[in-house]
């Protein structure tokens, strides 16, 4: 074999390659490595100060003290999921160990048939854990959890019931519920039980039919009778029944993007794009692209922002851009990048040791109920890290 010999004629092409690589690197506005290092320090402190794995870090109280929850609360799986993203990026065994412990602490919820939130609660910790490690202990928990979730689907209604009652209605379905379909689609693929996939498509189609307004925004809650007739369209966490609650829009964008990935049914991609375009072109979306907690909150601009909605949308857009024509893909990438720039700035990312060691500040869980208003939320941290990892993988 001839020895490798550098030829001077290659020099211009080589210089072009190096300068274009440098230009691409410079164009990146978020330093993922640095943000993950900061997240690692903050989460290490949170793990040290919160060793009790029967209570799950959630937020802070108005007096600034830490608020944690029991495993049956819908947010309890996000902490384990967040730790899995740290492991995915760093490959350091201490993150795998911590993630595994906080994941296994959620095991008992696989039998919980009293909630529709099993997708959030189980898929974020066990689903990520299984994807990254193929630990055989995680698979049966996910499969049992999927079957528990499916018990809330009534064929006559064609939807998974969200809450057991709401404002006098006993079959309310919330847009957030789209997120739980990821667990069912995974279980259908893994077990070969196609009824779980069909159930997801039926739920998504009925949600498509009844939850959305002509402008692409979504209602929060649609209440059905026992035969699937719509009785009322309401809000629980938004400013008004007819308003666009920011995180509801985020769940819709993420949920339909995810379901397009799972099914390749174009109507889901179209809905995700329509709701994303509503979100991004709304006159009340501030320049930093962190929305107010509701696009129609009555006191804008003197209303709280919801950074959790921005984190969810940033992550969703970084997937949706893959399924969009070039010009829109670029628009979605730029919007997601702006959201990540804002979330990574001192305006929204907590300084070391602040914010009870949660990563992101200025979220709103439930303004009408006055709970966790302008507070950290564990799911903002989860989707922020997920979005950073997706941003890092952009070519
Ligand atoms: N799933 C409830 C929420 O987004 O607050």
What share of the chain has pLDDT > 90, as a percent? 92
Judged against a pLDDT cut of 90, whether residue 15 lies above it is answered with: no
Distances (CA, A) of 219 to 12, 157, 172, 200, 344: 57, 18, 12, 19, 30
Q: pLDDT tens across 180-212, in order?
A: 999 999 999 999 999 999 999 999 999 999 999
Please identify which residue in the block is written with the tokens 């949600």. Answer: 207
Judged against a pLDDT cut of 90, whether residue 117 lies above it is answered with: yes
| Choice from 120, 237, 309, 371 to test ligand 1 binding pocket (greatest atom count within 8 A of CB) | 237
Residues 6+ apart with CB under 8 A from 375: 59, 60, 363, 364, 365
Dihedral (CA of 389, 390, 393, 395) sign: negative
Whose alpha carbon is nearest atom 5 of ligand 1? 365
Residue 9: predicted pLDDT: 61
Judged against a pLDDT cut of 80, whether residue 18 lies above it is answered with: no
Where is 263: in which H helix or E strand? helix 246-263
d(CA 42, CA 357): 5
Cβ atoms of 109 and 145 closer than 8 Å: yes
How many C-beta atoms surround the C-beta of residue 10 within 10 A? 10
Phi first, then psi: give them for residue 374, nearest 5 degrees.
Answer: 60, 55
Phi first, then psi: give them for residue 25, nearest 5 degrees.
Answer: -60, -40
**What is the DSSP-derived secondary structure letter of residue 72?**
T
Does residue 372 have its Cβ closer than 6 Å to ligand 1?
A: no
d(CA 323, CA 328): 10
Judged against a pLDDT cut of 70, whether residue 295 lies above it is answered with: yes
Catalytic choice (176, 294, 306, 381): 176
Judged against a pLDDT cut of 70, whether residue 224 lies above it is answered with: yes
Specify the 3-state DSSP secondary structure of 87: helix
Whose alpha carbon is nearest atom 1 of ligand 1? 176
Cβ atoms of 142 and 180 closer than 8 Å: no
* 176 is annotated as an active-site residue: yes
Q: pLDDT-based confidence at 304, cuts 50/70/90?
A: very high
Does residue 247 have its Cβ closer than 6 Å to ligand 1?
A: yes
Q: pLDDT tens across 128-151, in order?
A: 999 999 999 999 999 999 999 999
What does the block give as tokens for 333?
């990438």
- Stretch 116-132: mean pLDDT: 98
Let me know how long the chain is.
395
Specify the 3-state DSSP secondary structure of 173: strand
Q: Which CATH number fits domain 29-393: 3.40.50.10490, 3.40.50.720, 3.10.300.10, 1.50.10.10?
A: 1.50.10.10
Phi first, then psi: give them for residue 156, nearest 5 degrees.
Answer: -65, -30
Report the nearest atom of ligand 1 relative to the CA of 174: 1
Cβ atoms of 105 and 62 closer than 8 Å: no
Closest CA to 381 of 125, 59, 89, 48: 59
What share of the chain has pLDDT > 70, as a percent? 93
| Choice from 72, 74, 116 to test ligand 1 binding pocket (greatest atom count within 8 A of CB) | 74
Q: pLDDT-based confidence at 395, cuts 50/70/90?
A: confident
Residue 20: predicted pLDDT: 52
Q: pLDDT tens across 328-359, in order?
A: 999 999 999 999 999 999 999 999 999 999 99
Phi first, then psi: give them for residue 252, nearest 5 degrees.
Answer: -65, -45
Residues 6+ apart with CB under 8 A from 303: 292, 293, 294, 297
Residue 109: predicted pLDDT: 98
Residue 230: predicted pLDDT: 98
Whose alpha carbon is nearest atom 2 of ligand 1? 176
Does residue 176 have its Cβ closer than 6 Å to ligand 1?
A: yes
Judged against a pLDDT cut of 80, whether residue 166 lies above it is answered with: yes
Residues 6+ apart with CB under 8 A from 377: 58, 59, 75, 308, 358, 360, 363, 365
Residues 6+ apart with CB under 8 A from 316: 250, 253, 254, 257, 258, 272, 276
Cβ atoms of 248 and 255 closer than 8 Å: no
| Choice from 173, 247, 253, 371 to test ligand 1 binding pocket (greatest atom count within 8 A of CB) | 247
d(CA 88, CA 394): 16
Residue 26: predicted pLDDT: 53
Judged against a pLDDT cut of 70, whether residue 24 lies above it is answered with: no
CA of 176 to the centre of ligand 1 (A): 6
d(CA 201, CA 48): 42
d(CA 55, CA 52): 6
Residue 170 burial by Cβ neighbours in a 10 Å radius (0-12, 13-18, 19+): middle
């Amino acid at each position: 074999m001839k020895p490798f010999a550098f030829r001077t004629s290659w020099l211009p092409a080589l210089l072009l390659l190096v300068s274009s690589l440098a230009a691409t690197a410079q164009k990146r506005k978020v330093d993922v490595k640095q943000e993950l290092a900061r997240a690692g320090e903050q989460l290490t402190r949170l793990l040290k100060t919160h060793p009790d794995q029967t209570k799950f870090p959630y937020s802070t109280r108005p007096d600034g003290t830490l608020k944690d929850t029991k495993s049956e609360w819908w947010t309890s799986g996000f902490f384990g999921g967040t730790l899995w993203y740290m492991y995915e990026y760093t490959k350091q065994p201490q993150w795998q160990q911590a993630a595994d412990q906080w994941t296994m602490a959620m095991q008992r919820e696989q039998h919980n048939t009293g909630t529709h939130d099993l997708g959030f609660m189980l898929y974020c910790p066990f689903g990520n854990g299984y994807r990254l490690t193929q630990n055989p202990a995680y698979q049966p928990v996910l499969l049992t959890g999927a079957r528990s979730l499916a018990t809330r689907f009534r064929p006559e209604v064609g939807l998974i019931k969200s809450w057991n009652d709401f404002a006098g209605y006993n079959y309310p379905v919330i847009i957030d519920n789209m997120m739980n379909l990821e667990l069912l689609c995974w279980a259908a693929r893994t077990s070969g039980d196609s009824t779980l996939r069909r159930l997801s498509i039926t739920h998504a189609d009925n949600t498509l039919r009844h939850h959305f307004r002509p402008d692409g925004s979504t209602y929060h809650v649609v209440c059905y009778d026992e035969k699937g007739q719509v009785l009322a369209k309401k809000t629980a966490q938004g400013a008004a029944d007819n308003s666009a609650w920011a995180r509801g829009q985020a769940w819709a964008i993420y949920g339909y993007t995810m379901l397009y990935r799972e099914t390749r049914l174009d109507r889901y991609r179209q809905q995700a794009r329509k709701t994303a375009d509503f979100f991004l072109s709304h006159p009340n979306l501030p320049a930093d692209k962190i929305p107010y907690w509701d696009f129609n909150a009555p006191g804008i601009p003197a209303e709280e922002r919801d950074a959790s909605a921005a984190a969810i949308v940033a992550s969703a857009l970084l997937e949706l851009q893959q399924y969009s024509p070039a010009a829109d893909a670029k628009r979605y990438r730029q919007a997601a990048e702006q959201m990540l720039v804002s979330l990574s700035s001192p305006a929204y990312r907590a300084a070391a040791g602040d914010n009870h060691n949660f990563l992101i500040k200025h979220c709103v869980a439930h303004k009408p109920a006055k709970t966790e208003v302008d507070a950290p939320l564990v799911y903002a941290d989860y989707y922020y890290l997920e979005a950073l990892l997706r941003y890092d993988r952009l070519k």
